[in-house]
Amino acid sequence: MADVEVTCINKQPRNNPHEGITHLGGYNWWWTRADVIRSMKSGTNTFYTMKNGVKSYLQVVDGPNGEYVRTYANGQANDNLLALNECKVK
């Protein structure tokens, strides 16, 4: 299992604070949210963000509009994903 850092996201609509992450990315990769969830659920990869030296791991959450990902650190949900920059797609 690979431990993969998420450094950017794409959202639609960008201003909605809790919904709409369509893609996640990092160094040399850019995947749909569905691909990230599939990879996590299969046990292939774990994903995390890094802020102030603290790793926050992504977990899959079953929400009212389907599955989405959220970060957790020290047993607490946080908004680290939403604070990431927009992914620049080539």
Name the residue ranges covered by the structural domains of the chain.
2-86
Residue 54: per-residue pLDDT: 87
DSSP string, 11-78: ESSTT-SSS-EEEEEETTEEEEHHHHHHHHHHTSEEEEEEETTEEEEEEEEEETTEEEEEEEETTEEE
pLDDT above 70 for 17? no
What residues contact 53, with CB distance under 8 A and at least 6 apart? Answer: none
Which of residues 75 and 40 earns the better pLDDT score?
A: 40
**What pTM value is reported for the model?**
0.88
Q: What average pLDDT does this structure show over 47-58?
A: 92
pLDDT above 70 for 19? no
pLDDT above 60 for 83? yes
Residue 15: per-residue pLDDT: 63
